[in-house]
Amino acid sequence: MIRNMSHNSFALLQARGYKLTEPRRRVIEQLHDRRRALTALELHQLLASEGISLASIYRTLELLVELGLAEAATRSGDEQRYIACSPGQHHHHIVCSRCGRVADITECLLEPFEDVVRERTGFTIESHTLEFHGYCSACRQ
Amino acid sequence: MIRNMSHNSFALLQARGYKLTEPRRRVIEQLHDRRRALTALELHQLLASEGISLASIYRTLELLVELGLAEAATRSGDEQRYIACSPGQHHHHIVCSRCGRVADITECLLEPFEDVVRERTGFTIESHTLEFHGYCSACRQ
DNA sequence: ATAATAAACGCAAATGATTCGCAATATGTC
DNA sequence: GACATATTGCGAATCATTTGCGTTTATTAT
């Protein structure tokens, strides 16, 4: 299952004409397997034994976001965290404030409200960002 | 009205024992009067004639966030934007993707969903971040 | 009002996450 | 199995933000 999710990303990468390199494979695996919001530096440390450069990690993350295979978490600190993401369906995440664990919220809760927001504010609505924060079962006191 | 909103912030600042200085007054005024999500650099440029240092703008923004008088917008780019905020009631914003104009969404749309999210994910929920993006009436094509 | 006093300021240097240039290497293809 | 090229690792560069420090300014008490 976890393997399959990584493999989906591998496949999409290649289908778009990108090479499936060692740094890309490893970053994708980590993001999927750990199910955590990770920083570039954390990925670099997790992959220390692989001799992958920090620059490649940044470049890979940029590519994954572009392809919809990862997304940048809401920032709370000076380092950006990244979350593995299935492309296609729009959805949201809850992130553990202690360990960074991520869970998906499978459908979008907000589309029904976009009309209300448009009427109230006079803005047209193109998108929204939503992220919940709390504690996963392991980190709850 | 606009003046009152700035004055509320002035008062809260002083009530908490902080001095109402020129940089603080000006930054608060700009954030309230422009009703836009602004970067530190933009504030510095807007206030160029006042001889206010960029460092003071950063320090003021940090203080305003701490006091709940401003909040950091969802980042989309390499500079943080800040939004004037009334402390007290939890609410959300919609930000114009072209000009940065901000409108308030007066109450929170998501509290009713927190139970659902908790049940589905097994996380306890402490908070959430939500921001809408679109175009204000002036920027809509 | 005026002086006393501590918080805040302006400046310039430091920090640190992220990006970039380039020679070397690894991937997918023929 | 060799080729052509995308991608890598390295180190240097960038640039938003933070910090140290001597000076200024907002508040409090005289």
**Cβ separation A123–B134 shorter than 8 A:** yes
pLDDT of residue B3: 52
Contact, B21 CB vs strand C, < 7 Å: yes
Mean pLDDT, residues A48-62:
98
Mean pLDDT, residues A92-109:
93
Contact residues for A15 (Cβ-Cβ < 8 A; gap 6+) = none
User: Which candidate, A109, A110, A102, places its Cα nearest to that of A86?
Assistant: A102
If asked whether residues B1 and B36 sit together in one domain, one would say yes
CATH number at residue A24: 1.10.10.10
If asked whether residues B76 and B102 sit together in one domain, one would say no
Judged against a pLDDT cut of 60, whether residue B85 lies above it is answered with yes
Mean pLDDT, residues B14-26:
98
If asked whether residues A58 and A109 sit together in one domain, one would say no
If asked whether residues B1 and B52 sit together in one domain, one would say yes
Indicate the helix (H) or strand (E) that contains B25. Answer: helix B22-34
For residue B101, how many other CB atoms are within 10 A of its CB? 20
Contact, A126 CB vs strand C, < 7 Å: no
- Total domains, chain A: 2
If asked whether residues A82 and A14 sit together in one domain, one would say yes
Look over chain B and give the mean of its residue pLDDT values, rounded to a whole number.
94
Mean pLDDT, residues B67-94:
94
Mean pLDDT, residues A132-138:
97
Least Cα separation, residue B1 to chain A (angstroms)? 18
Judged against a pLDDT cut of 70, whether residue A80 lies above it is answered with yes
Interface of B with A (CB under 8 A): 72, 74-75, 94, 96-97, 103-106, 109-110, 113-114, 116-118, 120-137, 140
Confidence at A5, pLDDT banded by 50, 70, 90: confident
User: Which candidate, A132, A141, A52, A128, places its Cα nearest to that of A90?
Assistant: A128
If asked whether residues A97 and A76 sit together in one domain, one would say no
Tokens of A76: 């709370």
Boundary-marking domain end, from A50, A70, A86: A86
Judged against a pLDDT cut of 90, whether residue A121 lies above it is answered with yes
What does the alpha-carbon distance between residue A6 and residue A30 come to, in Å, rounded to a whole number? Answer: 9
If asked whether residues B28 and B39 sit together in one domain, one would say yes
Nearest CB partner across the interface for B135, out of A74, A117, A123:
A123
If asked whether residues A3 and A21 sit together in one domain, one would say yes
Mean pLDDT, residues B27-52:
98
CA neighbours closer than 13 Å in the CB half-sphere of residue A112: 6
Boundary-marking domain end, from A67, A86, A105: A86
Judged against a pLDDT cut of 70, whether residue A3 lies above it is answered with no
Q: Are strands B102-105 and A102-105 parallel, antiparallel or unpaired?
A: unpaired
Higher-confidence residue of B109 and A57: namely: A57
Higher-confidence residue of A42 and B88: namely: A42
- Which residues of chain A have a CB within 8 Å of the CB of B134? 118, 123-127
Tokens of B54: 């960029």
If asked whether residues B96 and B78 sit together in one domain, one would say no
Boundary-marking domain end, from B87, B107, B123: B87
If asked whether residues B107 and B76 sit together in one domain, one would say no
If asked whether residues B113 and B45 sit together in one domain, one would say no
pLDDT of residue A106: 85
Confidence at B59, pLDDT banded by 50, 70, 90: very high
If asked whether residues A93 and A82 sit together in one domain, one would say no
Confidence at A2, pLDDT banded by 50, 70, 90: very low
Look over chain A and give the mean of its residue pLDDT values, rounded to a whole number.
94
Least confident of A10-14, A71-75, B113-117: B113-117
The helix-helix angle for A2-15 and A54-67 (nearest 10°) equals: 80
> What sign does the CA torsion over A36, A37, A38, A40 have?
positive
- For B6, the domain range is 1-87
What does the alpha-carbon distance between residue B36 and residue B139 come to, in Å, rounded to a whole number? Answer: 13
Footprint of strand D on the protein (CB under 7 A): A 18-19, 21-24, 51-53, 55-56, 59-60, 78; B 14, 19-22, 39-41, 54-55, 58-59, 62, 78-80
Tokens of A54: 């920090």
CATH number at residue A139: 3.30.1490.190
String of DSSP letters for B37-64: -EEHHHHHHHTGGGT--HHHHHHHHHHH
For residue A1, how many other CB atoms are within 10 A of its CB? 5
Over the range B78-99, which residues count as b (16 or more CB within 10 Å of their CB) and which as e?
eebbbbbbeeeeeebbbbbbee
